Chains A and B, each alone.
Chain A
Amino acid sequence: MIQLKWLPRGIVLGLLIFAIFGPLANLALWAFAEQWYYPHKLPLTYGFRFWHQVFKPRGDAIESLYTSVTIALFTVAACLAIALPAGYALARLRLPFRAVIMLAFLLPQAFPSLAVYINIARLFYGMGMNGTITGVVLVHTVHGLVFAVWITTAAFAAIDRDLELAARSVGASALRAFMNVTLPLAAPGIMASAVFVFLESLDEFTGTFFVGVPDVITLPLLMFTASIAGNYQIAAITALILLVPSIAFMLFVERFLKADVMAKVGA
């Protein structure tokens, strides 16, 4: 009886598992396949030959990884430099047009961005900023700001105001209360927003595709080029490098973003 009851559930869950993990497993197979052609259902030989090719010193992938991480770190720095003061002000002060300010940061997400990127690329071209790291960082920053500002605002808003006031009343200056009380308490939320922005920048494709050409080649662009050229092994290995941080963040996101902060995002 019990087995019968479990059958439909088992089938649905099984199909779902296949649908979710099938494509990922496929990617992993390609990354380690040295020879794989029709009509063989699985790779003929496995090995690390293509890994050596990807990771050889001064190879394209290492250089792209370095470019990607540099861009992502600068983007995080730029976003936090804006989001920390903005988030604190939005959470604590009574600002006029607060809703408008919050919405302004959402704008880049509310319009199809591709049509905007092509025009940014054209403007940057006139300024000689196409194909520069600075240009790409600027584009990524605008895109990432909404997460940075909204999450830091929520993180600051979730802190009990009395704790700051208590610090002030025992004689701490406003700056000291902020540095020693508010900032450490908001740290998990700020970390979450930083990781979010980092990942967004690392994975960004469309903006880099238009603004970064021809000199800035990030990992997603490298992967795209390899895939279009039919180098499935190279593409799969690069994709795996990009997958690791995404999946790690997915598994740990709840540890960073506590429910009380989560509930205040966008409010």
Chain B
Amino acid sequence: MMYKARVEVGLRSGHSDPEGETTARSLIELGYCVKSVAVSKIYLIILEADSEEEAKTNLEDMCRRLLANPTKDHYTFQVETAK
């Protein structure tokens, strides 16, 4: 089976987010009432697995091994079957 996953990796709260802060400043400068900006990365992954369960296990592993650094990042993902 082919699965389509959307993985989001962002900064854990508690760490300062220079990218987000800079973007927020810039948006405020342009006149928007922006309170804060958090920057995340989205990975769209097409993968093969025998079951959704297996796909999820693989994705969990991908996140822990490469896509996120647990020291500073959190991650979430959604999986659906791909056509």
Q: Do A and B come from one complex?
A: no
